[in-house]
Structure 1
């Protein structure tokens, strides 16, 4: 058996020293979310020299605030977008294979209360299976009333006629983002967080790099690159304006999610309501030992880095949950609430404020000056988005061709063990569905985690001192927020508990990095993840 390589260190001083070396990169990526990180891995694996700059922390924005689903998009199927669903189902399978320690299969149950619901949705989900083909995770099944209650013990029994069970995927979004960043680094890419791109550089009217500023030190950096990609999600229009664009590309929409105790949805299946009172989808999803309730789809005209939920959204989720759960969650039951902004692509002519009518597909544009912008899409299709971006860069003569993508069969850092069966076949995953956070999410790197100081010293049942040290040494973590929001998901699971252990995390982190871990900033942030009762 080959010896497992030690994790690649991410000491920030060393990363900045690399950035200071005068290098003309093939590709400079602005933005460290799912799209930018996936692009960095794809490009570096083909042999391009790559630098990625993130103004805050990797996955700080939308990419850590998803519904945690790796899915083809059942509602997109209902809209008739077959091509998008087929692509996403293929990418779903690829992701589960390449990151089995982070992503896994999950059964969903649609309860039926009207006579027509089970056959209507069942037929659609059978088509979902057919589109997945050999990439399917399990067969759609029609459930009797009794079988539905066994799968969803807390579902409202009054008027229940049965249900439909189908399979999709689930993942830890922030953990996947870090796996992409670290995998790209292993391929030679340079990735740095807390490095804000303030403006573009031009040579003879063509984009030739970026001007970056280290937000920790204020130091400026001039980065030269043959191709610059704007992958800043909902914020892409800011860089496009600098480049002379006058038409906004993105119409932001926000999605709100709440976390409650597992007792509100015991069992291993997720609840999916395809059409609520106002036509939106409602999920109740087991995740890391708790349950996520959501989501909303509300237009937003500002781009706050920490958007807050509207009271109407909070009421909507609680009211709709009460219609389907025998024990309705109250405001006092919410352990954490978070909001993510979605970069929905505007049509050529704005069709008003209905974000459901906007495109969920990604768009790649190249400006006259050569700035490449990519936005839209969803987590599941990050790898396909990266392929499209590089294809566009080559077609526009911004990059020399280096062959096709190599990421479809490229396991991510920590991958090892666990297999995903074909359609109707058995599904084997490395941990049980909805299991609490723990060492299993480190995959094959558990051996290195166990060797760090504090491996047996637990700050919470799911976070050890060694995990904090691992985050600082190998996962680019610099602040308490980095650790408790994204390397661990405690802020998203239990904001009060996260606030309680923040000082202890800060002590460990400061001993590792020598930097101020900003515990006071984290405590203010944690307060925003709690509902006022």
Structure 2
């Protein structure tokens, strides 16, 4: 089994290997392809210009779902596919995914009847991978289950099931799984140019290690563009005249104290002023509210929520909650970009563009995966590699990921009775590590200092920072506090307070000096301030 160690993996780039495929992009799509390719036996290299899941793949609504909204739009095929993949993900990554009951509050019996009918179809489409049957619940039951729901005019509710998950942790575990099956996956390595042979076919890529500034020329039989909202940049690297394929759309989320929900059940607001749905979900020990749909003309690794989006989420959630959330209640706000496949019609509303993925192959052989969603990452990977086989870019090999256990999921046992699975509150900060937990506990037993809370914060133990550096390829304070442990996303102010003690632990592990620590704290503080709402 290969070690998930950046320095060891970098050394493999010195060997004169002709890779079967080089994947550009370390989000859900690229990492899913890396896992599928490695398990099929292909020589696989993945490079990510920043950290794994730095962009869109760490900024989702945290739902593993078929897509109730897509069902309403009549996209039965996408919903059926997503529901199958939802069930497989709960099976393959049980340490990061949970069955979440979600309630639609109904203020008219007619709407309740409509939702019951639609959700029964949703249940039926999930076939043998159902998370549980949807049902009508009476007003009194609803008020007990959702104590903070607005009571005026309330008639009843409809309860259905979907999944919730930790997106950035899943991305990391996919990278670890790919490496365990022979792939090389590297963060902070940027693709800078494509190579072509005399026939104009791609046969390699130039990459740059951004941490050491060392460049490598990589030979490859094929190259996959899995860069999400940045896909057009790689397409233009291949052909400067290439048409745009991405129509980016921004969605934001607000994270608040759990008192605004005070329930293990989530809420789905079925129709907002912009025609979308809004979720209020328990996530860790907080409540997550979102999302929006704002078309954008540009994209960035660190998108920022617009004031109009913040006000929209607060106003919409406030209509359905007894305690109306205000700006001062927001602990963290984050924005993510959807890499929607462009339709060519500028008048299309982004919320109506299908989340189905497309696999494009250019004349030079560049393979680009456009669109898609987290829930269907595995199927997107399977489709991509099957198309590459069909195009003669890879030798034939069978997909093996349908029942493949993802790192951390093997031999993982769900908590015993008494732990409220639906609550998404992890009293044990090591629960998210799944089958790695016992290895971390062994380290803590040998060094009690590793069991202490960092900065006195019980949700972060010293072992988690050490583990992130030694075994999870974390290079920066941001890597730890944003994606290895989700504190930046759940409480930005607390994350800023923890930056200094986290930097000190990392510096000791990496053998770095006080200047590095200071730069890391300054850089992280500057970034984290963008997750705070100012001007109360």
Deviating 4+ runs (over 4 angstroms): 427-432
Q: Could you report, residue by residue, the CA deviation over 1:443-493 in whole angstroms, capped at 9, with x for unpaired residues?
A: 111111113343311112111111101111111100000000000000000
Matches within 5 A, 1:156-305: 156-204=150-198, 205-244=200-239, 245-305=241-301
Which residue does 1:439 correspond to in 2? 430
Moved more, 275-284 or 226-235: 275-284
Unaligned 5+ runs, structure 2: none
- Distance across 1 between alignment mates of 2:305 and 2:469: 31
Q: Could you report, residue by residue, the CA deviation over 1:117-159 in whole angstroms, capped at 9, with x for unpaired residues?
A: 1101110000000001111011101011111111211000000
- Distance across 2 between alignment mates of 1:132 and 1:116: 25
- Distance across 1 between alignment mates of 2:420 and 2:378: 23
Of residues 107, 110, 125, the one that matches 1:116 is 110
Which residue does 1:317 correspond to in 2? 313
- Kept in 1, the 8 Å contact 2:279–2:290? The answer is yes
- Distance across 2 between alignment mates of 1:250 and 1:238: 10
- Distance across 2 between alignment mates of 1:144 and 1:431: 23
Q: How many residues align?
A: 519
Partner-residue secondary structure (3-state), 1:324 = coil
Which residue does 1:327 correspond to in 2? 323
Q: Could you report, residue by residue, the CA deviation over 1:306-325 in whole angstroms, capped at 9, with x for unpaired residues?
A: 11111110110000011000
- Kept in 2, the 8 Å contact 1:38–1:180? The answer is yes
TM-score (norm. length: structure 2): 0.94
Matches within 5 A, 1:333-482: 333-347=329-343, 349-352=344-347, 354-402=349-397, 404-415=398-409, 416-418=411-413, 431-436=421-426, 438-452=429-443, 453=447, 454-459=449-454, 460-482=457-479
Q: Could you report, residue by residue, the CA deviation over 1:208-260 in whole angstroms, capped at 9, with x for unpaired residues?
A: 11100111121111111101000000000001012114210000000000000
Of residues 127, 130, 141, the one that matches 1:133 is 127
- Distance across 2 between alignment mates of 1:356 and 1:86: 19
Partner-residue secondary structure (3-state), 2:334 = strand
- Distance across 2 between alignment mates of 1:9 and 1:227: 25
- Distance across 2 between alignment mates of 1:366 and 1:337: 37
The change in CA–CA distance for 1:388 and 1:428 in structure 2 (over 3 A counts) is farther
- Kept in 1, the 8 Å contact 2:3–2:179? The answer is no
1:351 deviates by 3.5
Unaligned 5+ runs, structure 1: 421-426
- Distance across 1 between alignment mates of 2:281 and 2:137: 19
1:353 deviates by 5.4
Moved more, 205-214 or 61-70: 205-214
- Distance across 2 between alignment mates of 1:113 and 1:217: 59
Which residue does 1:424 correspond to in 2? none
- Kept in 2, the 8 Å contact 1:366–1:372? The answer is yes
- Distance across 2 between alignment mates of 1:419 and 1:85: 27
The change in CA–CA distance for 1:456 and 1:156 in structure 2 (over 3 A counts) is same
Q: Could you report, residue by residue, the CA deviation over 1:337-361 in whole angstroms, capped at 9, with x for unpaired residues?
A: 00000000011x3242511232211
1:505 aligns with 2:473: no
Partner-residue secondary structure (3-state), 1:524 = helix
Partner-residue secondary structure (3-state), 2:336 = strand
1:513 deviates by 2.1
- Distance across 1 between alignment mates of 2:326 and 2:413: 37
Which residue does 2:527 correspond to in 1? 525
- Distance across 2 between alignment mates of 1:139 and 1:89: 13
Q: Could you report, residue by residue, the CA deviation over 1:340-396 in whole angstroms, capped at 9, with x for unpaired residues?
A: 00000011x324251123221111000000000002110000000000000111011
1:430 deviates by 8.8
1:267 deviates by 1.1
1:519 deviates by 2.1
1:408 deviates by 1.0
- Kept in 2, the 8 Å contact 1:71–1:92? The answer is yes
- Distance across 2 between alignment mates of 1:239 and 1:48: 22
Moved more, 444-453 or 113-122: 444-453
Which residue does 1:423 correspond to in 2? none
- Kept in 2, the 8 Å contact 1:255–1:341? The answer is yes
